[in-house]
Structure 1
């Protein structure tokens, strides 16, 4: 069993440039929020993904697969893996200086991922068209021989201030209305 499909990209992709203020290749990506479930160091429970900037529009990441992530007996829960892909691909979008949120995420699960292992991710921004950013990612166990899962995502560029207006740092409130 392997990765099944590719993301179909639109014909009108725009030229991309790496943002001048992002970390250089080999440097850690910054935590975007201390309480983030994906990368935050202060979140009581979280993935604690360690994301590193790569060349061009790529990032790599590692994540230990620990006991609380269990789904089926002895293996990671698919939703946890989905959240990890979401975080890694969102981090890749930072390389082009674009804050994004997820609008579509597709995952091919190729192989069970055992507790106690370490996942290694790669992610690459494939292109941008208007507000949409197209990203792909793969997850590996030990080395990079064959992916155990792959994901494709479409993210949409947001205005951070408007998007999170009405929310306070560290507090989660439901929108009124």
Structure 2
């Protein structure tokens, strides 16, 4: 804790000295923190923590040694910026598909392991932005950190798979102290939608979603979602998915779905019903949290 406080204090000192150019030092700050995360974390590991907090991750089954996951995270973020045609200095908004202060240690650990898997070139992190315009993504419409869906998605286009780590906040309660079944369904639908969009290309709508709930999900807990495309028939994409606890030992639910690709004509008709100013939704501008 003392080491982390020292780093955060140094970061604040840099901010005060260099003023508005915070973005210039954002990567340095995150890299410093990520590199010492391995030193800080062992003291926080408790009995019953996920196996992969101590061992190389099997989440993506890549065989990658995650010893330098901080460096992998930093490199992947830089690559994301290049893919979007931006430099780190030019990035004007926050990508909320990154850890923040509300994320639990377990959620952060899983994220860094998943993100390290992007170094082999097959997996890619899917960015997500918090919008404040008239249109808002359903799973990212709560601006207060930690209250709703806190998640990050990783895609493997070649294998037509997607994986997601999600922490469920207190605004998603169903039965007392447990996550609402609809919140779990939302993340399943979102993940499979992202998966089919990248794997088969194009815009798809859910035609059918079947979920088998096997175990309740405690409120505030973290779950890992896995989805894959099973087959494609013309404009139809058939997918399957399953959800486990953070340690992978408990299956929370499984699902199958059918997605249908929108035609160009359908896309054009949809645009007619959208307000003109909704096409340029504002995105929340803020500095990424150092986590």
Per the normalisation by structure 1, the TM-score is: 0.73
Count of residue correspondences: 147
The structure with the larger Rg is 2
Structure 1 pair 110–116 and aligned structure 2 pair: CA distance change class (3 A): same
Measure how far apart 1:86 and its partner are: 0.3
SS at match of 2:125: coil
Measure how far apart 1:27 and its partner are: 1.7
Higher relative contact order (CA 8 A, sep 6+): 1
> Aligned equivalents of 1:98 and 1:89: distance in 2?
13
> Aligned equivalents of 2:229 and 2:269: distance in 1?
22
Which residue does 1:36 correspond to in 2? 137
For the Cα contact (< 8 Å) 1:69–1:80, is it kept in 2? yes
| Misfit runs of 4+, over 2 Å | 23-26, 30-35, 43-49, 143-146, 159-164, 168-171
Moved more, 91-100 or 74-83: 91-100
More helix by share: 2
Give runs of aligned pairs for residues 56-95 of structure 1, distance below 5 A.
56-94=159-197, 95=199
SS at match of 1:71: coil
Measure how far apart 1:96 and its partner are: 2.0
Structure 1 pair 33–97 and aligned structure 2 pair: CA distance change class (3 A): farther
> Aligned equivalents of 1:143 and 1:25: distance in 2?
24
SS at match of 1:62: strand
Measure how far apart 1:44 and its partner are: 2.9
For the Cα contact (< 8 Å) 1:37–1:47, is it kept in 2? no
Measure how far apart 1:165 and its partner are: 1.3
Measure how far apart 1:33 and its partner are: 8.4
Moved more, 94-103 or 160-169: 160-169
Measure how far apart 1:140 and its partner are: 0.8
- Say if 2:144 is the partner of 1:144: no
Give runs of aligned pairs for residues 1-177 of structure 1, distance below 5 A.
24-31=121-128, 34=131, 35-38=136-139, 40=140, 43-44=141-142, 47-54=149-156, 56-94=159-197, 95-159=199-263, 161-162=267-268, 164-166=270-272, 167=274, 168-169=278-279, 170=281
Q: Structure 2 unaligned segments of length 5 or more: list them.
A: 1-82, 84-117, 283-291
> Aligned equivalents of 2:269 and 2:234: distance in 1?
18
Give the superposed CA RMSD: 2.5
